[in-house]
Amino acid sequence: MNDLKLEDIAKLAGVSRSTVSRVVNASPNVGAATRKRVEKIIQTTGYHPNAAARSLASQRTNMIGLVIPRTTSAFFTDPYFPHLTQGVAFACNNHHMTLSLFLVGNQEDENEITPRLLRRGMLDGILLQSGNSDDMLFRRLISSHVPLLVLGRPFEEKSVNYIDVDNISAAKNATSHLIRLGYQRIGMITGAIRSTTSIDRQAGFKRAMAEAGKTIDPSLIVEGDFSENSGYVAMKKLLPLRPDAIFAQSDVMAIGAMRAVQEVGLDIPKDIAFVGFDDLPIASTLPIKLTTVHQPITHFGIKAVDLLIDMIEKGTKPAKRMILDAELIIRDSCGGNANNRPIVQGVEFEGSALKAPA
């Protein structure tokens, strides 16, 4: 039906191709009358410019890719990722950009996806979720021509653009809070041990302990992988060691761990206190509301897109770096006094804000 091209509109309006192009692209140098006339024709014919042709001629596709590498793709079982995607998607809309999603499931996927990522005339820029250090995809992308912004601190920071949350400070604050409340045997459930996220949160934990002059019992640090089940399993190991407080590196793991605690009939926070990380919506609707570090996930996605677009338009050098703060939200799971409870703000709570039961 609608096989019109620029040329046809031009003919119908009695002007040249160039003029129609100017109207379509909102160029200022068009006479008011001409513009009106052309716009009317476009309106009535329902003309839409051809994206491929435009991309070819302008060397801009107005598309960005969001890549979740294989080593991180378990993230999809974690609510973290949908929230991030949402932020990225909304920001793309605001910038009139189209978002392409690349979920790398396995090695074949990676081989299949990589050339598509590297192809010219496909993506104006790439957002890459930080994964493991031995990520082949990561290295190939880094050395490509496409502007690349890494989400989360990469292993090799040198001259790579990235955006991250201040995991060290946040974890330190969370741990310090536990220390301040007087807990003596504070354990930690880590995330996937090879991720920088987990490494940094661990560093924050250790720093807090060191500053408080407390020695760390290594057996109280148990490895998880950010999943609910891994939290449960880790807590099973921790239970015999009688910790009185746990810093879980993700809310989901905290939930798994709390499940393990409740199964043996212990009380939270009286017997064991908990602090999580993420502040997912569910954290505030749990039977025992979770004290946790609020990550501005959606906001993080938005900032990432803003930064990437800036890189696309103004070049990638010098390397860009952006670190966002994360704030401790004190609720019930950590025990102690919950008076100075900060207000939780932000879009990621829509649809799950819970009216207090009567």
Partner DNA sequence: ATGGGTTATGAGAGCGCTCCCAAAGAAAAT
Partner DNA sequence: ATTTTCTTTGGGAGCGCTCTCATAACCCAT
The residue (of 60 and 341) whose beta carbon lies closer to DNA is 60
Q: What x-and-dash track marks residues 275-294 binding a second copy by CB under 8 A? A: ------xx--x-x-------
Q: Is 142 in the site for a second copy (CB under 8 A)?
A: no
- With CB under 7 A as the contact rule, which of the stretches 18-26, 108-116, 136-144, 325-333 interacts with DNA? 18-26
Q: Is 16 in the site for DNA (CB under 7 A)?
A: yes
The residue (of 15 and 104) whose beta carbon lies closer to DNA is 15
Binds 282: which of DNA, a second copy, none (CB < 5-8 Å by kind): a second copy
Among 1, 57, 343, 358, binds DNA (CB under 7 A): 57
Distance, in Å, from the CA atom of 136 to the CA atom of 107, rounded to the nearest integer, reads: 10
Q: Is 56 in the site for a second copy (CB under 8 A)?
A: yes
The residue (of 227 and 295) whose beta carbon lies closer to a second copy is 227
Residue 211 phi, psi (nearest 5): -65, -30
Q: What x-and-dash track marks residues 111-150 binding DNA by CB under 7 A? A: ---------xx-----------------------------
Q: Is 353 in the site for a second copy (CB under 8 A)?
A: yes
- With CB under 8 A as the contact rule, which of the stretches 53-61, 166-174, 212-220, 312-320 interacts with a second copy? 53-61
The residue (of 210 and 241) whose beta carbon lies closer to a second copy is 241
Taking CB under 8 A as the criterion, which residues in 175-194 touch a second copy?
none
Binds 1: which of DNA, a second copy, none (CB < 5-8 Å by kind): a second copy
- As measured in angstroms, the least distance from the Cβ of 132 to a second copy is 16
Taking CB under 8 A as the criterion, which residues in 74-103 touch a second copy?
74, 76-77, 79, 81-82, 85-86, 89-90, 93, 96, 98-103
The residue (of 87 and 204) whose beta carbon lies closer to a second copy is 87
Count, residues near DNA per rule CB under 7 A: 32
Query: To which residue do tokens 């068009």 refer?
Result: 30
Q: Say if residues 353 and 345 touch (Cβ distance below 8 Å).
A: no
Q: Is 19 in the site for DNA (CB under 7 A)?
A: yes
Q: Is 118 in the site for a second copy (CB under 8 A)?
A: yes
- As measured in angstroms, the least distance from the Cβ of 212 to a second copy is 34
Query: Which tokens hold the place of 58?
Result: 């302008």
- As measured in angstroms, the least distance from the Cβ of 123 to DNA is 15
| Best CA proximity match to 147, nearest among 314, 341, 8, 326 | 314
- What does the H/E/C string look like for the chain? CCCCCHHHHHHHHCCCHHHHHHHHCCCCCCCHHHHHHHHHHHHHHCCCCCHHHHHHHHCCCCEEEEEECHHHHHHHHCCHHHHHHHHHHHHHHHCCCEEEEEECCCHHHHHHHHHHHHCCCCCCEEEEECCCCCCHHHHHHHCCCCCEEEECCCCCCCCCCEEEECHHHHHHHHHHHHHHCCCCCEEEEECCCCCHHHHHHHHHHHHHHHHCCCCCCHHHEEECCCCHHHHHHHHHHHHHHCCCEEEECCHHHHHHHHHHHHHCCCCCCCCCEEEEEECCHHHHCCCCCCEEEECCHHHHHHHHHHHHHHHHHHCCCCCCEEEECCEEECCCCCCCCCCCCCCCCCHHHCCCCCCCCC
Q: Is 22 in the site for DNA (CB under 7 A)?
A: yes
The residue (of 53 and 193) whose beta carbon lies closer to DNA is 53
CB neighbour class for 310 (10 Å; exposed up to 12, middle 13-18, buried from 19) = middle
Q: Which residues bind a second copy (CB under 8 A)?
A: 1-2, 48-56, 61, 63, 74, 76-77, 79, 81-82, 85-86, 89-90, 93, 96, 98-103, 105, 108-109, 112-113, 115-116, 118-122, 145, 227-229, 232-233, 236, 259-260, 262-263, 281-282, 285, 287, 350-355, 357
